[in-house]
Amino acid sequence: MPPLLPANLADLSPLLPWVLASLLCYVLAANGLWLAVRRSGPQGRLSRGLRSQPGELLLWLTRVLWLILPGYAALLLGLLSPRLMGLSQIELGWTLGRGLIFAAGALALLLVAGLSVRRAHPTSPPYLTFSHGVALTTLLVMEAGALQWQWAFYRSAAIEALAAAAAPAPVYWGTWLAVGLLTMQGALSAWLWHDLRIPGRAERRLLRAALLGATSVLYLLSRNFWLAWALHGAVTAILEPRVAAGSDRAQKKAVDSP
């Protein structure tokens, strides 16, 4: 009788150790930074450095590289399926059509909900200048693509593992298993619980959770990474600066509190 579980995770999918290593790296780095910032204090060199523009840019670049590099390396090594990622062999018939219909509906629903919240709580304009708006929109669209890349990477690993285990409906259950892994990844960071207490940051966290759910359904309907990126990029570029506008003072006060 064969064993119920493989001898190691790589027997199910060579991607699973990569996913778990990425998750562990995030948990250690995020919580290590959290402890270092708390130890530094609100006026410490580390805290002041992270609040500066170079510090914020460095954190953003580090986060984007962490989101992209593991999946990209696995793709270069031939471990990752472009089809499972939704990058290639995209069907142009009804599969794409229903994906476009769902994406349009999800975009409209999320924008109406987000802009309704902003109308109920008026804040200052989201952009300081036109160039600021262009730069922020570009950064948000790039980060949306990086997030979708990691989500597709985790999803591909989960689908491949369930298919190797001969589980029923591996694409469906693998998609939601990846959502569970990503939710656990976020929940293991002290920064999530910190952000949920701050106006502006809490809304962005909730928006990201809604996009994770919406783009997971979109993948099941269309198997299209590019469509998911388009939906994610459009929603975040329009809503994130608006739900966060006027919250800088509250964010800084929360970060500075011991």
pTM comes to: 0.88
State the Cα–Cα distance between residues 245 and 11, nearest whole angstrom. Answer: 48
When pLDDT is cut at 50, 70 and 90, the band that residue 243 belongs to is: confident
State the Cα–Cα distance between residues 9 and 17, nearest whole angstrom. Answer: 7
192 vs 257: which has the higher pLDDT:
192
What's the pLDDT at 41? 82
What's the pLDDT at 6? 52
Over residues 166-219, the pLDDT tens digits come to: 889 999 999 999 999 999 999 999 999 999 988 878 888 999 999 999 999 999
Over residues 22-68, the pLDDT tens digits come to: 999 999 999 999 999 988 887 888 888 888 888 889 999 999 999 99
Over residues 118-156, the pLDDT tens digits come to: 666 666 677 778 888 888 899 999 999 999 999 999 999
When pLDDT is cut at 50, 70 and 90, the band that residue 117 belongs to is: low
195 vs 245: which has the higher pLDDT:
195
126 vs 2: which has the higher pLDDT:
126
What's the pLDDT at 90? 72
Hey, where are the domains in the chain?
9-256
Over residues 77-88, the pLDDT tens digits come to: 989 889 999 888
> What type of residue sits at position 158?
A
State the Cα–Cα distance between residues 83 and 93, nearest whole angstrom. Answer: 16
Using a 10 angstrom Cβ sphere, with 0-12 exposed, 13-18 middle and 19 or more buried, the burial of residue 119 is exposed
Q: Considering only CA atoms, give the Rg of the chain.
A: 20
